[in-house]
Chains A and B, each alone.
Chain A
């Protein structure tokens, strides 16, 4: 089945530093989604990408849809303490035909040190 390989698994960075994480897949995705999950809460959508090569920003966050359709990355610039959390990539399961059946990456746990 479809799998998303997300790296790194965890990151410890100093406040103010930039962060980069990525997802790769052996299958083509038509949509890439990036979510953030805070402790005790459900995932919240950060950025959605719909076209190969697309580069989209949301404040200090920037994400790109890889040209091959098999990868995506998320950058966070000038990190702040509230960036702490788990970041997930996700994409709709191609064979199901449903946009609600998402395949998720394993997540990147981000810790921001003061």
Chain B
């Protein structure tokens, strides 16, 4: 069974630009969550989507947004990039109705803002 797939794996953007990251969950999983990982702040929850609806949102500014499609694939977007947005962005998928132990992470998308 294929794991969580994230694209692109690496990208470099300039301050002020916007970026879109993509996540394909494990087949059959309908919940997708996004996390930001930085050396200073560690792993922080961004948001969770289920059945194309945002269920929870972490403490991030409105520049961070996401969406989920009918096939459960998800994208997250960061607008007006700042240097501090440089991070590893991790997507995680879970089957419907799962508890915390069945969260599967992808390898992440490394974003560098210059």
Interface, chain A (partner B; CB < 8 A): 1, 31, 33, 40-45, 48, 50, 88, 90-93, 96, 98-107
Contact = CB atoms under 8 A, between A and B. Distances in A.
Given A43-B43, A88-B43, A100 B100 contact: yes
A31 B103 CA distance: 13
A98 B56 contact: yes
Given A101-B33, A104-B43, A92 B100 contact: yes
The A interface is mostly helix, strand or loop, or mixed, namely: loop
A4 B80 CA distance: 31
A48 B90 contact: no
Interface residues of B, number: 26
B107 A42 contact: yes
Contact of B107 (A41, A48, A104): A41
B108 interface: yes
Contacts of A91: 100
B55 interface: yes
Contacts of A102: 35, 43, 45, 100, 103
B99 A98 contact: no
Contacts of B31: 100
B101 A45 contact: yes
